[in-house]
Amino acid sequence: MNVSSFVFRLGSRWFSCSTSLVKEVVGQKPVIQIPHKTNAILRGVVNINGELQLCVSLHQLLGIKQLMWNQYNRIVVIAKKGEIWAFAAEEIQGTLACDYNQIHPFSFESSHSISNYLLGTILFEEKEVNVLDEELLLSSLRRSLTV
C-alpha cells in the first residue's frame, strides 16, 4: 500500500508520518511556557497564525538528544480529529511515496524507547527513515497533558 509520507529530522535521526497528519510547517517561533503545566514533553504553547497551539518535544518523548531550542529550523504542526500539536524539527526533507509493505524491522535495540513508537524503517535517498506509529504517538501526547 503506497502512502504519501512527510520526512523530517529530529537530532540525527530521520522520521516519517503520513502527509495527511501534517497541517503546516512554519519557521522558528518562541515557545511560551504554561505555568504549572509545562513538563519534559509539553514545552508550552506557540503562536501559529494567530492561534495558540500546544508545543511538545518529540525529542523527549522518543528519547532523542535535544539541541538548544534556538537551533531548530522549523515548527511542524500536526492535526488529527480536532487535536493540533506543534513540535520542533531540525530539518524537513519533504515528502515521499512510501510502500508500507516495504517497512523493515528497526536496526537498533528494541529496549530503546524510540522503538515503542515505530512501525519500522524504510530507506529513502540512502537514509534510514523511522516510520512513526501515529496513533501511539498521538495517544502518548494526550497522556503527557495529565502528567
Residues forming a β-bridge with 53: 46
Highest mean pLDDT among 66-70, 95-99, 132-136: 132-136
Mapped onto helix, strand or coil, the DSSP state of residue 112 is coil
Q: Is the pLDDT of residue 71 over 70?
A: no
CA–CA distance, 41 with 147 (Å, rounded to integer) = 9
Mapped onto helix, strand or coil, the DSSP state of residue 69 is helix
Nearest Cα to Cα of residue 86 among 74, 94, 96, 73 = 74
- pLDDT tens by residue, 23-32: 999 998 999 9
**Domains of the chain (ranges, CATH numbers):** 2-144 (2.40.50.180)
- pLDDT tens by residue, 104-141: 876 655 445 778 899 999 888 888 899 999 999 999 99
Long-range contacts made by residues 12-15, C-beta under 8 angstroms, separation at least 24? 12/65, 13/64, 13/114, 13/130, 14/93, 14/124, 14/127, 14/128, 14/129, 14/130, 15/58, 15/129, 15/130, 15/131, 15/132
What pLDDT is recorded for position 110? 44
Q: What is the pTM of this model?
A: 0.88
Which three cell numbers mark 54? 500546544
